[in-house]
Chain A
Amino acid sequence: MYEFVSGPLALISFAIFFVGIIIRIVWYVKGLDWQLDRVAYSEKLGAGIKGAARSLFHWLLPLNRTTANHPVFMAVTYLFHICLVLTPIFLMAHVVLIEESWNISWVTLPDKVADYMTLAVIAAGIFFLIRRLTDPNVKILTTASDYIVLAIALAPFITGYIAYHQWELGAGYKFWLIIHILCGEIMLIAIPFTKLSHFVLSFCSRIQLGMDYGIKRGGTKGRGIAW
């Protein structure tokens, strides 16, 4: 079982993930239409790139009014995302696995740090969950899929934490390890097909809106979109 989930199934999930997100990006870009969107994407590419860069810069860093207006939520979401993306990529155990298979490796996080980062993801996830259940503004927007997506995103971290600490929880290390790998694979596969596609589409959207402001909405007269 372990061989199967960590071998062929892992390869398949990575393949679906990569091919999937590439297809989504290509589909996104091909669907842009200068006349329907009313943005001269290619004619004013220079202004567009400037606007896109500003848009990304102000949001990859917490330099926007939403962060100023909602500091707690935004701090949690930045932390959540940073830990969520970095932990699996730089986790020692993951890098070792990859080195064994493909003979490539990169820097790793100390286990202790990775452990805290995992906890941060889980804690942030619980914060999102509580907010969804209690805040009337979030409640009215929430659909079942929001919970499912949150669960898909958190599951690898929760199960990874259990496996790393070798908690038995009535099943044993091997079991939790397999479940952890499966959860990770489910997440990878879910990314192109669910709202988690925002992994890449959020960048697409930010770039598009940045171009819109840079090209048409004042980028050539004022500051473009101002944060």
Chain B
Amino acid sequence: MAQEAKNQDLPPLVTRKAVKTKKELDLLLGDKGARYYKEMEVFPVDTAALKKTLDATCKSRLRTWLEICAHCSLCADSCFFYLANDNDPKQIPSYKIKSTLGELVKRKGNVDTKFMINCMDTAWGKCTCCNRCGMYCPHGIDMGVMFGYLRGLCFSQGFVPHEMKIGSCMHWLYNAQMDVTVEDYVETCEWMAEENEEYYPGLEIPVDKVGADIMYVVNAREPKHYPQDLAEAAILFHLAGESWTVPSKGWEGTSLAMFAGDWACCKQQVEGVYAAMERLKVKRYVGTECGHQHRATITEGPYWAGRKSGEPPAPGLHYVEWVLEALETGKLKLDPAKKIKEPVTLQDPCNYVRNHGLTDVTRKIMSYIAEDFREMSPNREHNFCCGGGGGMNGIGRYREERNIGLKVKREQILATGAKFVVSACHNCWDAIRDLEEVYKIGIKWSFLKPILLEMVIVPDHLKPKEE
């Protein structure tokens, strides 16, 4: 009783509005999810608002998809969750969307709390928005797109996984997925440049250099947890002789808000990056080895920002595109003797492969770095999600589901016979790391940058002077 009274005094954690203040963020961070999900169980649905949102945003494309689905089940085996869960019919993409968004639309938003929690558990716990199923449906029904939409509805009603709520809040507060401020970031850049200058004389990480050719944008995890990644990027740009810069404001390219379905926050986030492009008058954008950074800022971002052309203010490249260009133009030269000898395989991230067609780019890069490159099967646009996409890696509530889903990737990797997986995506990298932790199949995994750095030939004039 006393406990209950105490809980009632605390401000609520579950809210329909996005959380935008430090105080609320601290409250959320102070809870590991227990109180949050408990509150959610009795959190009412604002059915009138839900209906209004549906009327305004659920248009002919989505309604047609829901209506004409032939209930043929051809999409079943396109989804890795279906396969990983021993062909459980409840994991058929069509079933998952029909029993959630389909019902929601049919009932015109007149649903209860339990229903919304099931929507949440499906939209985040049984789908990574990898968009693979859409390629296999004879009607061209893309369930990944619909789950993305459903996430937005869930978010607007407060039914969103704890970590996703925190993620969107981070973006509102810091314009980054983690609590890294502009000052923190700039300091990290300076620190990394200093740290490595000794080995690479003249190395800098130019902040806010107007008119640079390239504006390099990162994932907040890099300054926060892997600053070495930032240094590696800087060294490679330096060795390639690029004119490049990092923005102070607008330095973060990812968007957990996209995974959370907080569309207003997506807009704010991406507009910050676009403002930096315009402020610095750069020729091109290069985003780090992260899939959803590319998806959020380059592929989807223009639409959130209201850019009719569907293009960002400056052409957007994924890191792999820059790498290939540097290799092909000879800006970066690799020592062929240092090519990886052991079998290597490659993880194709959904966000820039299936959803942006960068298939040949990574394969050409592999031809520069690996002697025995082994394709996964299926691969390219047909590759399976790593198992941790769409925010799944970060959500504690669905850890079990995530680990089961990883089985498909495990089998794919094992079938190649390779013990080394190249992954130019943070999410895939994490999923593969966790895969090894859970299933212990004896693999290594790596981003491209460390591999390139091992092999790159440092031009004489950039070598440290012998004293």
Contact = CB atoms under 8 A, between A and B. Distances in A.
Interface of A: 27-40, 43-44, 55, 59, 64-66, 69-70, 73-74, 77, 135-143, 146, 195, 197-198, 201-202, 204-206, 208-210, 212, 215-219, 221-227
A40 B353 CA distance: 20
A191 to B, nearest CB: 12
Interface in B24-51: none
B71 A141 contact: yes
B356 A221 contact: yes
Contact of A210 (B68, B69, B140): B140
B355 A217 contact: yes
Nearest to A33: B59
B139 A218 contact: no
B368 interface: no
A31 B63 contact: yes
Contacts of B381: 218, 222-223, 225-226
A36 B61 CA distance: 10
Contact of A141 (B64, B94, B306): B94
22 contacts: A34-B308, A39-B303, A55-B140, A73-B74, A74-B138, A77-B72, A138-B71, A138-B72, A140-B90, A141-B72, A141-B92, A141-B98, A198-B70, A201-B67, A205-B61, A206-B139, A208-B140, A216-B300, A217-B131, A217-B357, A219-B357, A222-B358
A93 to B, nearest CB: 30
Contacts of B74: 66, 70, 73
Contact of A38 (B94, B98, B300): B300
B250 to A, nearest CB: 21
Contacts of B211: none
Nearest to B299: A216
Given A138-B72, A202-B68, 14 more contacts: A31-B61, A32-B60, A32-B61, A43-B309, A77-B138, A137-B87, A141-B92, A141-B98, A143-B71, A195-B67, A197-B68, A208-B140, A209-B142, A222-B360
Contacts of B95: 140-141
Contacts of A141: 69, 71-73, 92, 94-95, 98
B57 interface: yes
B310 A224 contact: no
Contact of B310 (A39, A55, A209): A39
B303 A205 contact: no
A198 B92 contact: no
7 closest Cβ pairs, A-B complex? A222-B357, A218-B357, A31-B60, A40-B310, A209-B140, A141-B71, A137-B73
A142 B141 CA distance: 17
B220 to A, nearest CB: 24
Interface residues of B, number: 54
Count chain B CB atoms within 10 A of each CB in A73, A137, A205, A210 and give the residue with the most.
A137
Given A66-B74, A209-B134, A217-B355, A36 B59 contact: yes
Interface string B272-309: 00000000000000000000000000011011101011
Interface of B: 57, 59-61, 63-65, 67-74, 76-77, 87, 89-90, 92, 94-95, 98, 131, 134-142, 299-300, 302-304, 306, 308-310, 353-360, 380-382
B413 to A, nearest CB: 21
A37 B77 CA distance: 26
Nearest to A146: B71
A195 B65 contact: no
A195 B308 contact: no
A10 B289 CA distance: 62
Nearest to B76: A137
A168 B98 CA distance: 44
Count chain A CB atoms within 10 A of each CB in B137, B140, B382 and give the residue with the most.
B140
Given A209-B140, A216-B310, A226-B381, A221 B68 contact: no
Contacts of B357: 217-219, 221-224
Contacts of A226: 135, 359, 380-382
B89 A37 contact: no
A30 B63 CA distance: 13
Contacts of B72: 73, 77, 138, 141
A139 B89 contact: yes
Contacts of A27: 60
Nearest to B60: A31
B107 to A, nearest CB: 15
Contacts of A195: 67-70
A202 B141 CA distance: 9
A205 B60 CA distance: 10
B139 A198 contact: yes
B60 A28 contact: yes
A212 B72 CA distance: 23
Contact of B64 (A28, A33, A219, A223): A28
A38 B69 CA distance: 22
Contacts of B134: 209
Contact of B140 (A32, A36, A206): A206
Contacts of A34: 303, 308, 310
B144 to A, nearest CB: 11
A140 B141 CA distance: 18
A44 B87 CA distance: 40
A223 to B, nearest CB: 6
A44 B309 CA distance: 7
A111 B172 CA distance: 70
B70 to A, nearest CB: 7
B59 A32 contact: yes
Contact of B60 (A30, A44, A55, A135): A30
Count chain B CB atoms within 10 A of each CB in A33, A38, A224 and give the residue with the most.
A38
A145 to B, nearest CB: 9
A141 B92 CA distance: 9
Contact of B359 (A74, A217, A222): A222
